Each structure stands twice: as C-alpha cells, then as structure tokens.
Amino acid sequence: MSPACLVCEAARTVPHRAVQGVQFFECTTCRSLFAYPDFIARVEAGEVGNYQSAYWDSEIAAAEERSYGSSLARVAETIRMCRIPVERFIDIGAGTGSLLDALDRLLPELSDRFWGIEAFPPDPERRSRHRNYRIGTLGDLTERFEAGVCIEVIEHLSPSVLRGLAEQLAERATPGGLFLFNSAQPEFVIAQDPGYLDPLGRGHIVSYSLAGLAHLLGPSGFNVIGLPGRDWAFLAEYTGEQRNLDTGAMLDWLWHPREENMALLRTARFGPLMIGMGVESARCYLEHATANERTRWALRLNAQLEERA
C-alpha cells in the first residue's frame, strides 16, 4: 500500500521506482518524489548518514567546481533580483565553505558581507578559513540576511527537516529578502536525470515540486517562485504574500534591479563582472523559456487551423 505524501500530506501516492533497494513514491497531488517513509525516518534518526567522510570524498570536487563557476552566477542573479538592499548574503548548507572562498577571491572588498552556515561539515582541514564560515544551523545565527543561496542541499532533507529550515530562515531573513535554492524538481529528475535520486550514495532522498515547496515554505512566510526554463531551481521571497510571477514579471525584476545593490557591486574591482554575469545568466534562461512558450503557442494554433481546414 502506498503511503500518504510526506511533502503535501495528500492521501494518494503511487510507486515511482526503486533506487538502490529503496522504494520511491510520487504524489499524485503535488508531484513530489520521496523515499519510503521508513527509510526517511532512519535518515532523520541518524541511522543512515548523508554527510559521512565518504560523502565528502566524492563530493568535494563537484562542490569546488560549482563554487568557482555556476554558484557565482547564482549569487550574482540573486543579488540582482533582490527587491531590497543587500547588507548580508548567506550560503545555506555551505559545505566546505568553498563558495565563500571564491567570493573572497573575486570580491575581497565585499567579503565581510558574505556568510556561510553548515550543519554537517567535513573534517577541519577541508573547511574554509573564511571569518564568516559557521558550523551549526540557521537557528544558531543572530545576524539577519537580505539574500542568499542554498545549493544542492534540500534534496538531502526530509520534509519535516526542510519545514524546520524554513522556520529558522524566517527568523533570520529581512522582510523582502530573496533566496535562491538549487535542487532538481521532479520534472528534471524524470526527464533529464533519473540518477539524481541517490539515497545511499549522495543521500538524495526527495525531489521537491514547486507545489510541495509552497506547502512546506509558505507557512513560514515564503513565496515560492518558479524560475522559467529551470526545473532545477526556484526563488523563495520572504514576503508573506503568495503570488505568481510570470516570465514578464521576472524579466522586469532582471532589467530593473535595486540601484543600491548594483552600486554595492561596483565598489569591488570585479563587481562589474558579477553585474554582467547576473543579467546574462538569468536572461539566457528567461528568454529561452519565453521562446519555448511562444513556439508551443504557435504550434497549437497551427494544429487548430489545420483541423479546421
């Protein structure tokens, strides 16, 4: 018998597939994918470790590559699209702290504005020496943050733990704050990367849908915003208002950033690089998504015209 959805609590789910002997289920309401509840309970109890030494042995290289590449683009986009002035920026689930190190090298003038928090760090010799790298949870911090990223983290977290993370982030977020989460949604997993579900290797136990994320993050005051063209990332705006933003609205955010944030970046030698990276990276996905939407519309219209002919 299929269990109730651990993400949105809907009653109806169906088996998805077994991975490494662990059965995954798909919710027919929110479409999230999640490992069998008994297995997730073992993860929560610490009986199945997501962040043991072997994990870091295999993942540090990938994390370093992201930190000096795509993660910088995610930081640049988030600062550009944030609707309030950014005083502090947090990397949630910072791992080794390599993103802090990358930002320190690229934007040393702004290094004190970037923070990282990691609950399950690697051995000390593998950690960043950045002064704002912290061991613990968001609940251990006293600072407030206007923006941040959480990259390749929440797929490791059970729904109850993610709900707790949202509650803690709400305590530390400035109203209007914007946070970008990078984690593959079910559409991406099913169509592009079935191997993303990896309960015993990388510890990927859930693929959260946007609907499921809204159910978990919404009660803490976050508006979950899908990113057109990217079924592996989303924004969470700490606004308390649930609203949909279409591609046009997202483009408006992109082309009309807060001048205070652009002025802040311009104070750093390589700040203009981050400004350009932010607009070009986000623009690429948004405009590609717009082109796809218009193509699908044209094809539907053409099919309708052919039926009438």
Do the beta carbons of residue 6 and residue 212 sit within 8 Å?
A: no
Compute the C-alpha angle 119/212/203, nearest 5°. 40
For the beta carbon of residue 129, count every other beta carbon within 10 angstroms. Answer: 10
CATH no. of 49-284:
3.40.50.150
- pLDDT, position 109: 98
Over residues 20-48, the mean pLDDT reads: 95
Compute the C-alpha angle 134/140/146, nearest 5°. 80
Q: Residue 157 has what DSSP assignment? A: S
Do the beta carbons of residue 223 and residue 236 sit within 8 Å?
A: yes
Confidence of residue 51 (pLDDT cuts 50, 70, 90): low
Do the beta carbons of residue 180 and residue 149 sit within 8 Å?
A: yes
For the beta carbon of residue 139, count every other beta carbon within 10 angstroms. Answer: 13
Residue 52 pLDDT more than 60? no
- pLDDT, position 101: 97
Backbone dihedral region for residue 176 (phi beyond 0: left; psi -120 to 50: alpha; all else: beta):
left
In 255-287, which positions are buried (b, 16+ CB within 10 angstroms) versus exposed (e)?
eebbeebbebbeebeebeebbebbbebbeebbe
Residue 59 pLDDT more than 80? no
Over residues 237-264, the mean pLDDT reads: 90
Question: What's phi and psi for 288, nearest 5 deg?
Answer: -65, -40
Over residues 32-53, the mean pLDDT reads: 86
Reported in sequence order, the residue ranges of 193-229 that DSSP labels E, i.e. its strands, are: 206-207, 222-227
Over residues 47-67, the mean pLDDT reads: 73
- pLDDT, position 55: 63
Q: In this structure, what token pair is assigned to residue 50?
A: 């997501």
Residue 54 pLDDT more than 70? no
Residue 240 pLDDT more than 90? no
Do the beta carbons of residue 61 and residue 141 sit within 8 Å?
A: no
Domain boundaries, the chain: 49-284
Alpha helices in 45-185 (DSSP H): 53-67, 70-81, 98-106, 159-172
CB-based contacts of 65-72 (< 8 A; 24+ apart in sequence) = 66/99, 66/151, 66/152, 67/98, 67/99, 67/101, 67/102, 68/98, 68/102, 71/99, 71/102, 71/149, 71/151, 71/182, 72/99, 72/102, 72/103, 72/106, 72/274, 72/277
Residue 28 pLDDT more than 80? yes
Query: Which of 8-17, 90-99, 292-301 is predicted least confidently?
Result: 292-301
- pLDDT, position 287: 85
Instruction: Express each pLDDT in 261-296 by its tens digit.
Output: 999 999 999 999 999 999 999 998 888 777 777 788
pTM across the whole model = 0.93
Mean pLDDT, the chain, rounded, equals 93
For the beta carbon of residue 210, count every other beta carbon within 10 angstroms. Answer: 19
**Residue 283 identity (one-letter amino acid):** R
C-alpha to C-alpha distance for 174 and 191, rounded to whole angstroms: 36
Q: What percent of the chain has pLDDT over 70?
A: 97
